Structure 1
Amino acid sequence: MLLTKLHIPQPKEHVVHRSALFEKLNEGLNRRLILVSATAGYGKTTLVSDWIIQNKIPTAWYSVDSRDNDPFEFLSLMINSIQTVNENIGGKSLNLLKSPGTAEIKYIIELLINDILSVEKEFLLVIDDLHLINRSEIFKTLSFIIEYKPQNFKIALLTRSDPPISLARLRSQNELMEIRSADLSFNEHDITDFFNRKLKLGLTRNDISLVELKTEGWIAGLQLTAITLQNKDNISEYLKSIAGDSRYIMDYLIEEVLNTLDNETRDFLLKTSVLDQFSGSLCDAILDKNNSQQLLESLEKCNMFIVPLDDERKWFRYHHLFGDLLKQRLQIKHKEQIPELHKKAGLWYEAKGFSLFAIEHTLKAGSSEKALQLIDNEVDSLWETSQYTIILKFTQHLNENEIISSGKFGIAYAWVLIIMGKLDVAEVFLDKLQTSIKTDKSNGARNKLLGRLYETYNLLKVFSGDVEAAFRYSKLAIENIETNDVLWNSWAHISYGESNLLRFELNKSISSFKIAREKAQKVDNLYLNLIATSKTAYVLKVKGEYTKSLELCNNLLETFNADSKIEEYRIGLLSSILYSIIGYIQAEQGKTEEGIKNARKGYNLSRGVLSLSFQAYNALLLAETYYKSGEFNKALSLIEELEKIVNQDIAQWLYVLANSLKCNLLILLGEDEKALTILNRRKETTKNHNFENYFYNVAIARYSISQKNYSESILLLTDLKKGLKSHDAFELLAEVKLLMAKSLLLANKREEAIISVLNCLKCTQSDHFNRIYINEGAEIESLLREIGQRKKVSSTEKLDAVSSSYLNVLIEAFENEKKTSKAATENVLSARELDTLKLLAKEYSNQQIADDLFISLNTVKSHLKNINLKLEVDSRTKAVEKAKELGIV
C-alpha cells in the first residue's frame, strides 16, 4: 500500500479561499453526510482540502484509485486513513481484513463503528475520487457506515457522479449537505480575485466577463487559461480566440500549454502520464534522468495540475482529467515508447518491493513471461487471503494459453471461477490446464501442481453436487499434494473427510479431519484448526458419541480463551460453530434452555462470518436445537430462512440436512402434503449418495408411518438399521429404532416394539440421549413405562442392560413435557388476539387494526393489553419482537 493515498492534498499557492462554500461545509458537519459532486476540473479536492487546513479540522483523507474496487482493500485503506487521526481505531477490523473470508464485512464495520464510538474527539473522513469505485458491495458498506455512524464521526464524499446510496432519504431528512458544479463554479468576483489579485495578470472587466462566458466558471479551464496567458501581448484578442464547449476548451488549452513548454518538460509530462502516482526516483528510472524531483517541484509551482500526495512532496499524481489528456497525446505522439515506459516502471517497483504494482506495469508492457514469473511469486499469498479481484484483474492482460502456462496461477484462476459460480467455464479451463500440467516435462513442477489441480476439481464437483467425483478428486489430492505444501495439504484432508462423510464413511472421515487438524496445529493456523475440529465434532455427533464431541469442542474453546495471542473478537467468530454443536447436544440431553442459549450464541456469532455455508451450518444447528427442544414452529421458520442461503449446488450436505429436517417438522406439524412434495422432488435427483439416502429415507419412513403404511415403514427401517449399524451412525440409528418401535406398536406387534426400544436404550444411555424419545410422543412413552414396570418384576439380559435411573429420567421428562405443554396451552393467544398481533407486526395503527378486523377501538386496546400480558412485555414493539422470537408471527 502506498501511504500517499492517505495524505491531504496541499492547496496551491494561488488558491482562492471560498468563504461562502466554507460556511456550507461547516454546516455540513452537523449533517449525516457532506457530498461534493461535480464534473472534472471544478476544484472539489482543492475546496475541501483548503477548508480543512484553514479550519484545522482533524481529518482522515483517502484518495481512491481504480485498484480499490476490492471491498476488503477499500475498507482496509479507509481504516488506515482513520488511523492517521487516531491509531487506536480499527485495529481489530484491520486484523480481520488481513484474512478475507474470516468475517463478514458488516461485522468488521460494526467493530470499526464501536471503536469510533469509544473516542470522544470529533473527526472527519474524506473519501476523494469516489467515482472510481464501481462495486455495489462497497457502496453497501458506505451506506451502512453512513446509516450507523456515531455523532463524532463526520463523512465527506468527493466524486464526479452521485454514488448509489440513499441520497434522497438523507435529503428528505435534512441530513445531506450538497455542493454541486454550480456552487463550485467561479463567479466574476472569484475570477477577478484569481487572475488579478493572485496571479497579477491585470485583466480588464471585459476580459473577466469574457473568461467567465467562455469557461462558465470551470476552474480547470480557468487554470489552463491562466497558464496560456503568460507572456501574451494581447490578452483580449487571445481570449476571443478561445471557443467551443468545455471539453474542446480543455483540449485546446492543454495543447496551448504543452506548446509553451520546453521539449524536456513536455516530454516529461507526456511520458510520466503512464504512472498513476510517481516520485522523482520513479520518474528518473523510466526516463533515464536524474533531475525529475526538481522538475516535479517546478511543475507544482507552475500550477501544472500536479497534486502532491504527501507532506514531503515526494509522491505526486496528475489531476485526473489532465492525466487522461496527457495519455491521449502520448498515444498519438509516442505510442511505440509506451511498452518500454511500463517495463521500466515495473522493474523499479520490483526492486522497491511493490510486487503488485510491478506486475501491473509489466503486464501493460506486454512482457507476459516476466509478469507470470512475478505473479508466480505472489499468487499463493493472493489465494490464501482470498484476493480474488486482483487475480481476475491480472488475467485481463493475458490470454488463456498464457494463464495455463503458469500452472500455479492457472489453478488460482480456476478456483476464482468456481467461487464466482462459473462452473462450466471453470471445468473447460481445468481440463485444458490438466492436459498442460500432465504433459509438463518438469517432474517437480508437475507433481506439485497435480495435487492442487485435483483439490480444485474437488471444489468444482462439490459445488456441482457430484459427490462421487468429489470423493475421487479429494483422494487424488491427498495422494499428490506434497507434505510441505501445508495449507493445500490441510484443505485436501478436509475435503477428503467431507467426501467420506457424504459417503457415510464416518470413521474414515474422522481420521482425515484429524490429520488436517494436526497439520493446522503444526503451522499454527487457527482457522484450519477450527474447521477440522468442528467437522470432527459434527461427525462424532452423527456417530452418537456426544461425550467425545462435547470434549473436543470445549477443549478448543479453552485453548482459545487461554491463548493471549488470539484477540477476543476472533475467538467469538471462530468459536461460533463450537457453541452451536454444544447447544445442540445439550438440548438432546435434556438441557433445553442451556442448549438453546448456546446454539443461539453460535448462530448470532456466525452472522459476522463471510462464508454463507458457515452461516448456514450454524443456522441449521440452531434449527435442529429447536427441533430437539420441541419448538417445531421455530425450527421450521429458521429452516425456511435457511433456504434463502443454502443451495444444493454449493452446500450439498447442508441442503440434504435442511430438507430432511423440514420433512420431519412438516410431518410432526401435520402438513404431510408439503412434506410429500419435498420427498417427491428428491426422487428426481440424479446424484444421490449414502448421506442423502439415509437422511431422506428416514423422512420417508416417518411419512409412511403418518400415512399408516406400517408394513412399508418397517421394511424401509429394517434396511436402514442394517446400513447405519455398519457405519457406526448411532445417532440416526437411534431415531430409526424408535421409528421402528412406533411402526411395530401401531401394527400391533407390541413385543417387537419393546425389543426395539430396549435396543435403543442400550445404545443411548451412556451419552444421555433424551429428546429423541420425547419428540416421538405417546407411543414411545407407553413403551418406556411398560419397560419400567417389567424391570420391577423380572430380570432378563436386555432389561438388565438398561439403567433404571436413565429410564426414570426419560419417563420424568415426558411428565415435565406434558406440564409445560399444558401451561403453554393455557397461555396461548386467542384467534382474535393472534389476528391483532399479525396486523401489529405489519405496523398497523390501532384504527387500521379496528377497520381491518371490523371491531371497535376499545376492543383493539383490550386485545393489545391481553397480548402484552400473555407475552410478558410492556409495549407493542416488544410484543412483535417476542412473537417473532417465539415463531408466532
Structure 2
Amino acid sequence: MDKPSKAPTAAHTTAAQDTGLEGSAALSPIDSTKLSPPRIGTRILARERLHTQLFEARRRRCIVLKGPAGCGKTTAMASWRQMQLSLGFDVAWLTLTSGDNQLSRFLDYLLASLAQVDPTMVRDTLLLEGYSSDREAVERTVITLVRGIAAHPRELVLVLDDLHTLTDTSIHQTLQWLLDYAPDNLHLALVSRSSVPLSLARLRSQNLTLELDLRDLRFTAEEAEQFLKTQLGEIDPSDIQRIYRMTDGWIAGLQLVAASRKKGRQRKLDGAASGQPQAQLLDNQAFSNFFETEVLSQLTPAELELLRPLALCERFCPALCATLVNRTSAVVDAAALFERLESDNLFLIAVDSADREAWYRFHPLLRETLLKLFEAGGEAEQRAVHARAWTWFRDRDLLSEAVGHAVHGGEAGAAAKFVEQRLETLYAQGDLRMLVELVRQLPMEQLQASVSLRMLLVRMQIYARDFAACVEGIERLERDIPESAAEVRFRLTMLRAILAVQRDDTDAAVAILPQLLHPPKNADAVMIGGSTNVLSWLYMHCGEFELARRIQLDRPPLLINGTPLLGTTGGSLQGRCLIGLSLAMEGQMNQAERIYREVLFEAERGGKTCFDARCLATALLGEVLYENGEVEAAYQLLVNWVDIFERVSIPDSVLRVLEVLAKTRWFVGDHKGAFAYLRRLQAYASKLGLDRLEAHSLVTQVHWHLQMGERSAAETARARLDAIDACHPNAERSSLRAIHILAEHAHVRWLAASGDLDGASLRLNQVIALCESGGRQLGVTRLNMLGAVFDAQRRLMDAAREKVLAALRAGHRYGQVRSLLDAHPEALALISQIAEGETLDPVLTFYVERLQAAALPAAAEAVSRKPDASRKQLSSGLETLSARELEILRLLAQALPNKKIARALALSPETVKWYLRHIFTKLGVTTRDEAVARLREVELSAGEGRDR
C-alpha cells in the first residue's frame, strides 16, 4: 500500500518567501515516523514472482518501482526490506512528502534516514549539509556522503518512497550525483507514481537497474484469487473472475471489494443481472467513488466523524483525534477504530514513533476522499479544527506542527506570540533550525508587527551573509524602537555587533563600544555573553590581548533556565576559544592548544548547542597543529570542514582554515592545490568585502610566486594588495592595520627577489616594528628569521647569528615551528649552520632537532603511510600506494572523472593526473579500468579472508 501525502493547506504568504530564507540552513525538526516503513500485517500475500525479481536484483545499483497510488509499491518495498535485512543488508528508509520539496530539507531527512542505520556514515556530511544551495557545495556534500557510505562495512539499501512528491530540480540533481557516484555497497530503491527524474541510461547499459511498473506490480489472476480467499474465505470462482476483471489486478480495488463484502453489503457484480453497467476500479476517481459508497458508508456516523477531521493532519493518534472532535471520551473509541482499520488493512497505516502514542497515517487515496468530505462542512469548521490542533500540538511542544495549524486556523497572531516566547530559549539551545522553520510558516504581516521577530529575521540574514538586507533591517528597527526601550535597543546593538564581527569591521564595533560595555540590568544571559565575546574579539584585534582575556575571566556565571550558558555565540566555550585565539595571536601556541582541545572535548559532548564553539575551536586547533609541525594532522582535521566554516563561522576561522590548508599542500609539493586554497580564500573575501582576508591571501601568493620564479604573477598580486592597502589609510587601531603590514611584507619579498637585500632589510625592520607595536609575536619571530637570512646573504654573519638565536629562544618559548621554517627556503640551513657552530643548551639543541625533523616533506608522507583500518584490509598489490593514492584510487572506482576527484580532495586536476601516473606504475597497469579491477580484486580477497 502507498502512504499519505501532505494535506492541502490554505495559501498564505510566508516569511520565507519574502525574506529569501527558503534555502537557509535551518530546517524543521525530523519527523521520525518518515524514517520507517509501514508495518507489514500478518495477512500480507506472499508474491513469489515479484519477490523473486527483487531478490535477484538485490545487488544492482538502482531499483525503480513506478505505478499509481494503491498498486502495492510500498508494501512490496517493505517486504523486500525484511528480506534484505535477513540477508545481512542494512536498509535505510525515507518516506517523502511535498513538504520535503526543498533541497536543504530533503538533505536533512536523507541524512537522518542513513543515520538510523549507522551515524558514522553521515558524521562528516552532517557538518556540511543544509547551509547552501550552491551547486558545487551540494556536489561536495554528496561526495562526502558517498565516501562515508563507502566506508560502511555492509551492503546498504536506501529506499526513497513517494519520490514523485519532489519536483525541485536541485533535488533531482543531488539524487543524480548520488546515483552516479554511488559506491559498490550502495543500492537505491526509488518508489514513485511517475517516472523518476533521473538519467539511468548508463546503468541500464551495465545491467545495474531493475525497473518495475504497474504491469509487474498488479496481482496476477492467481494472486488475486489467493488474496480474495485470504480476506473472504471461500468465494465463487466466477465472482473471483468478475472482481479481477473489474479491478484489473489493481490492489487497492481488490482491497475495497474485499472490504465491501466483509461488511455484508455484497452486491451482484454481474452488470447484466443488476441492470447496471459493471463498475471499473482502475483509477483514483473510481476508487474515491467506490470507497464512499462501499466502505465509508458502512462506518457508523460516530466512526466517520472521528476520521473526517484527521484529513487535515499528516499524522495522528487517538488523543489528537479526541481533541479534534472536541470530545475527550473519544480517545478509547478512536484507538479501537484505528486498531481495527489497520488490522483489516483498510488504508490506515501504523507508523513507528519514539513516544508512547500510537501514531498513524492515512493512505493518500483515503485521505483525499476524507478531505473532500470534510471540506464540504465549510471553512468555519476547518478553522475550528485547525485551532484545536494548534492547541494540542503546542501543549506537547510539537512546535512546527503547532504553528502550521495556528496559521491555517486563523490564529496567526497567537502563533507569532508563541514563537516570540520561544525565541531566546531556542536560540540559547542552538536550535536555529526550528527557529527558521517557525518563521517560515508565519505570514509576513505578523513578522512585521513584532520587533522581536524582525530582529530574528535580521539575525537569520546575518547567518545567510545577506549583509545588505541586514543593514536595511537594522536601520528600520533603529527608527521604530523608542529610546526608552533600553533592553530592546541593547538587543539591536548586539545585532550591530554580530554584523561587525561577520564583516570583520572593528571600526563599527568600536562605534558601539559604550553600549556593549554597559548592558541594561534586565539584559538576559544570551545578550550579556554575546557582548562579552564581541568585546574580546574587538580588544584582541586592537592589540589589547590581556584585556581580551581579562573580560572573559571576569565574566559572571550566565545561566539559561538554571543551566550554564556554554554554547551559541554568547556562551562560555566561545569565550574560551577567544582566550586561546588571543594567546595564539601573541605567539603562545602551546597555551592556545590546551585551551582549544579542552573546548573541543566539551563542545563535542554538548551537541548542537555547542556547534559554534566546536567550529571555532577546530579552526584554531588546525592552525596550532600546523605551527607545531603536525602538517598531515592539520590537513586531516580541517579538510572536511571547509564548507562549514565558509557558511557559518566568523572570518577569523575561515582565514585560518584556508591558510593552513594552503600551507599543508605547499609543504607536500602540491603547489597547484596550495594556490587553489589561496584563490578560494581570495574569492570568499572578495564576495563578502573582507579586505583583510584578501590581503592575507595575496601576500602569500606574492611569496610563493616569487619562490617559483613567476614574477609577473607575483607583481599582479602585489599590485592588488597595494590597491587594497590604499583604501585604508587610517587603520592604526583597527584590524585593518594588518593590511598595511601585509602590503609592506609583500614589498620586502619583492625587493629581496629583485636582489635589493639592503632595501629589503630596511623595510623589514619597519614591518617588525609595526608587529611589535601590535604585540603580534608570532609574526615577529617569523620576520626576525627572515631578517637573519637576509643578513646571512649579505654576509653579516654576526647579525644573522644573533637573530637566529633570538628566533630560536622565542620560537621555543612560544611553541613555534613552522613560523621559523616558512620564513624562507634557506631558514633551516641557516639554523643548522648556526647551531653547529654554537654550544647550545640541551633545550635549544632539542628544539633545533625538532625543527630539522619537521622540515622534511618525508615526515608528512610517513604519517600518510602509517597503517590504518582501511589498509589492513588490503593485501599485496596495493601496499606500495600511499594513503592519498589509495584515496584517489577509491574515488576512481566510483567512476569519478579527474575534475570531480580534484574537487573532492581540493587538488588540481593536474595533480590528480600526476598521482594516477604513479598509481598505474606501482600497480603495473595502464588504464583506469585495470587499476579499479586490481583494487576490487584485492578488497574481495581481503573480504574472503575475513569470512574464513
What residue number does 2:698 align with?
659
Would you say 1:618 and 2:657 are equivalent positions? yes
Shift of 1:432: 3.2
2:60 maps to 31
Map Cα deviations across residues 864-887 of structure 1 (whole Å, 9 max, x no partner).
Answer: 99x979x99665799999xxxxxx
State the AA in 2 paired with 1:305.
F
Distance 2:318 2:756 in 1: 85
* Rounded Cα–Cα distance in structure 2 between residues aligned with 1:113 and 1:710: 55
CA–CA separation in structure 2 for the residues paired with 1:770 and 1:354: 53
Does the CA-based 8 Å contact 1:724-1:733 persist in structure 2? yes
- Match status 1:181 vs 2:232: no
| Residue number in structure 1 paired with 2:456 | 412
Aligned to 1:829: none
- 1:160 maps to 193
Match of residue 732 from structure 1: 779
1:884 is aligned to none
Identify the residue that residue 395 of structure 1 maps to in structure 2.
439
Q: Which runs of 5+ in 2 are unaligned?
A: 1-29, 132-139, 862-884, 893-913, 932-948
Verify: 1:307 aligned to 2:349, yes or no: yes
**Partners of 1:270 and 1:623 in 2: CA distance:** 62
Confirm or deny that 1:581 pairs with 2:623: yes
Q: Secondary structure at the match of 1:70?
A: helix
SS of the counterpart of 1:174?
Answer: coil
CA offsets, 1:591-635, max 9 Å, x none? xxxx32443343357479676555763342243466689987774
Q: What residue is the counterpart of 1:796 in the other structure?
A: none
- The equivalent residue for 2:589 is 549
Say whether 1:45 aligns with 2:85.
no
- Equivalent-residue separation in structure 1 for 2:622 and 2:746 (angstroms): 23
Equivalent-residue separation in structure 1 for 2:828 and 2:115 (angstroms):
63
Post-superposition Cα deviations, 1:327-351, rounded to whole Å, max 9, x if no partner, equal 3453354222112111111212233
Structure label with greater radius of gyration: 1
Aligned to 1:698: 745
Contact 1:308 1:314 in 2 (8 A): yes
Sort the Cα spacing of 1:357 and 1:98 in 2 relative to 1 into closer, same or farther, 3 A: farther
Does the CA contact (< 8 Å) of 2:635 and 2:664 recur in 1?
no
Once the two structures are superposed, what CA deviation does each residue of 1:171-212 show, in whole Å capped at 9, x if it has no partner?
444343333233223455555555677455876588457525
Which AA in structure 1 matches 2:743? Answer: Y
> Is 1:246 aligned to 2:289, yes or no?
no
Larger mean Cα displacement after TM superposition, 759-768 or 28-37: 759-768
In the alignment, structure 1 residue 596 sits paired with structure 2 residue 638: no
The equivalent residue for 1:591 is: none
Aligned residues with identical type, % of pairs: 18
Residues 561 and 722 (structure 1), Cα distance of their counterparts in 2 relative to 1, 3 Å cut: closer
1:439 pairs with 2:476: no
Q: Which runs of 5+ in 1 are unaligned?
A: 83-88, 588-594, 793-801, 825-836, 844-863, 882-889
Offset of 1:670 from its aligned partner? 1.9
Query: May I ask how many residue pairs the two structures share in their alignment?
Result: 800
Aligned to 1:671: 710
- Over residues 388-416 of structure 1, what are the superposed CA-to-partner deviations in whole Å (9 max), with x where a residue is unaligned? 55433333432334224444444333332
Q: Displacement of 1:466 after TM fit? A: 4.4
- Quick check: 1:704–1:713 contact (8 Å CA) kept in 2? yes
Quick one: structure 1 residues 406 and 526, their matched pair in 2 at CA, closer, same or farther if it must change by over 3 Å?
closer
- Deviations for 1:225-275, whole angstroms, at most 9, x for unmatched residues? 666784545652687375898354345445545567655444444322011
Counterpart check, 1:723 vs 2:770: yes
Determine helix, strand or coil for the equivalent of 2:361.
strand
Cα distance in 1 between the residues matched to 2:821 and 2:147: 42
Which of 1 and 2 has higher RCO (CA within 8 Å, sep 6+)? 2
Which residue of 1 is the match for residue 105 of structure 2?
70
Aligned to 2:403: 359
Equivalent position to 1:317, from 354, 357, 361 = 361
Please state whether the residue corresponding to 2:52 is helix, strand or coil: helix
Name the TM-score, length of structure 2 as normaliser: 0.67
Matching residue of 1:830? none
Kindly indicate whether the alpha-carbon contact (under 8 Å) linking 2:219 and 2:251 is maintained by their aligned counterparts in 1. yes
**C-alpha contact (below 8 Å) 2:706/2:714 kept by paired residues:** yes
- 1:481-514 CA-to-partner distances (Å, cap 9, x unmatched) read 8798445544444444444455555555555566
Q: Root-mean-square deviation (CA), in Å?
A: 5.8
- After superposition, give the CA deviation of every residue in 1:640-693 in whole Å (9 maximum; x if it has no partner): 466676665187654432232122211222222212222333455557821222
Counterpart residue identity of residue 207, structure 2: N
Give secondary structure in 2 for the equivalent of 1:316: strand
> Match of 1:41, SS?
coil
- Which amino acid in the other structure matches residue 350 of structure 2? P
SS of the residue corresponding to residue 36 of structure 1 reads: strand
Given residue 317 of structure 2, which amino acid in structure 1 is its aligned partner?
A: S
Q: TM-score, normalised by structure 1?
A: 0.71
C-alpha distance 530-144 of structure 1, shift in aligned 2 (>3 A):
farther
**Could you tell which deviates more after superposition, 319-328 or 609-618?**
609-618
In structure 1, C-alpha distance between the alignment counterparts of 2:159 and 2:307, rounded to whole Å: 28
| Partner residue of 2:417 out of 369, 373, 396 | 373
* 1:690-739 Cα shifts (integer Å, max 9, x gaps): 12222233113322443467797677556544432221123334555566
Are 1:765 and 1:806, in contact at CA under 8 Å, matched by a contact in 2?
no
Contact 1:41 1:218 in 2 (8 A): yes
Deviates more, 1:604-613 or 1:807-816: 807-816
Q: Is the 8 A contact 1:286 1:344 kept in 2?
A: yes
For 1:283, the aligned partner's letter is: C
Moved more, 307-316 or 718-727: 307-316
How far does residue 433 in structure 1 lie from its aligned partner after superposition?
3.8
Distance 1:564 1:259, change over 3 A: closer
Q: Deviation of residue 95 (structure 1)? A: 13
Alignment of structure 1 residues 5-16 onto 2, 5 Å: 5=34, 8-11=37-40, 16=45
Contact persistence 1:517–1:529 (CA under 8 A): no
Give, in angstroms, the shift of residue 539 of structure 1.
Answer: 4.1
The answer for the alignment partner of 2:11 in structure 1 is: none
Report SS of the residue matched to 1:350.
Answer: helix
Aligned match of 2:493: 454
In 2, the alpha carbon distance for the partners of 1:515 and 1:706 equals 49
The SS at the match of 1:278 is coil
Change over 3 Å in CA distance of 1:21–1:717 after alignment to 2: same
* Residues 509-658 of structure 1 mapped to structure 2, 5 A cutoff: 509-511=548-550, 523=565, 525=567, 532-533=575-576, 535-543=578-586, 545=587, 548-554=588-594, 557=597, 576-577=618-619, 580-587=622-629, 595-604=630-639, 606=641, 617-624=656-663, 635-636=674-675, 638-640=677-679, 648-649=687-688, 653-658=692-697
The one-letter code sitting in structure 2 at the alignment partner of 1:623 is: A
Q: Secondary structure at the match of 2:322?
A: helix
Letter in 1 for 2:76: L
The 1:632–1:197 alpha-carbon spacing in structure 2 relative to 1, beyond 3 Å, is closer
* Structure 2 counterpart of 1:276: 314
- Aligned position for 1:857: none
Aligned position for 1:832: none
Could you say what secondary structure the match of 1:9 adopts? coil
For residues 191-230 of structure 1, what are the structure 2 equivalents within 5 Å? 191=224, 198-199=231-232, 200=235, 207-208=242-243, 211-212=246-247, 217-221=249-253, 223-224=255-256, 230=265
Q: Following the alignment from structure 1 to structure 2, what is the Cα–Cα distance between the partners of residues 95 and 811?
A: 37
- Residue pair 2:596, 2:618 contacting (<8 A) in 1 also: no
Deviations 1:529-561 (A, max 9, x none): 665555544443443x3xx32133146547878
Residue 468 in structure 1 maps to residue 507 in structure 2: yes
Q: Relative to structure 1, is the Cα distance of residues 463 and 351 closer, same or farther in structure 2, using a 3 angstrom cutoff?
A: closer
